[in-house]
């Protein structure tokens, strides 16, 4: 069963939320952490995420209001303060929010292993950037987050309008955070069926999207099919 099928059941399993703070562009390290109650690390896709007091809010999207995400991080032993002092309040650091279900975690997390472990079963990653430090004290440091477009001051529409071609192919790539498809291999670039992961390539067309998400299902198509109908 896939994760998309799981979440439609009555008991989909516990959701696991993990964070990667990538500050390598600033000269700092990558930090992997989780905010679950367990005091032991969580291993996902071979990476170890350590327990750390974290509160992430404002990530929800609604029809009338964009998300306003903030990250509150425990300032244990002044660790976050020190990083802010050394690396300009971590402005520009990338935060990747990863989510999966507990039944897909790596076998090493379980004393008896995990026969349902699957590193490919997860929700689309969310990618944010630290825009500014909101507040800081001995216990907590709070950051305001933004998308890459917000951080660079880009204005809408933010990408070229092309009829019939998915923009996610060049912005994040097939199976990337904007595409959102994480199922099995489906078709090659010409929409010919394939079960070979090496040949699985999205053709960037509406029909390519339907092959992956379903003929009559909502499509996460990143193009503008109706744009070609406009005449000036």
Which tokens go with 135?
């507040």
* Residues 60, 210: Cα–Cα separation, whole Å: 26
Which three-class secondary structure string do you get for 30-87?
Answer: EEEEECCCCCCCEEECCEEEEECCEEEECCCCCCCCCCCCEEEEECHHHHHHHHHHHC
* Residues 72, 143: Cα–Cα separation, whole Å: 6
Candidates 65, 52, 78; CA nearest to 138 is 78
pLDDT tens, residue by residue, 110-149:
999 999 999 999 988 888 899 999 999 999 999 999 876 5
Q: Would the pTM of this model clear 0.75, i.e. be above it?
A: no
Question: What is the full DSSP assignment across 198-215?
Answer: TT-----SHHHHHHHH-T
Chain-centroid distance, C-alpha 161: 24
Q: Where in the chain are the domains?
A: 3-151, 159-232
pLDDT tens, residue by residue, 167-179:
777 666 788 777 8
pLDDT of residue 112: 94
Q: How far is CA 61 from CA 58, 65, 72, 148, in A?
A: 8, 7, 19, 17
């Amino acid at each position: 069963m896939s994760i998309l099928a799981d979440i439609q059941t009555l008991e989909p399993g516990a959701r696991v939320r993990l964070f990667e703070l990538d500050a390598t562009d600033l000269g700092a390290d990558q930090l992997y952490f989780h905010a679950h109650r367990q005091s032991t690390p969580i291993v996902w896709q071979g990476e170890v995420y350590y327990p750390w007091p974290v509160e992430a809010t404002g990530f929800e999207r609604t029809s009338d209001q964009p998300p306003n995400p903030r990250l509150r991080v425990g300032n244990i032993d002044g660790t976050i303060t020190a990083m802010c002092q050394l690396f300009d309040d971590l402005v520009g650091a990338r935060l990747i929010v990863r989510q999966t279900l507990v039944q897909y975690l790596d076998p090493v997390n379980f004393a008896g292993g995990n026969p349902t472990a699957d590193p490919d079963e997860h929700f689309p990653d969310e990618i944010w950037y630290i825009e500014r430090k909101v507040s800081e004290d001995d216990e907590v440091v709070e950051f305001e987050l933004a998308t890459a477009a917000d951080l660079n001051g880009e204005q809408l529409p933010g990408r070229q309008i092309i009829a019939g071609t998915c923009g996610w192919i060049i912005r994040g790539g097939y199976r990337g955070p904007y595409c959102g498809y994480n199922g099995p291999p489906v078709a090659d670039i010409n929409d010919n069926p394939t079960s070979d992961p090496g040949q699985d390539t999205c053709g960037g067309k509406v029909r390519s999207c339907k092959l992956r998400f379903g003929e009559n299902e909502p499509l996460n198509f990143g193009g503008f099919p109706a744009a070609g109908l406009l005449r000036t």
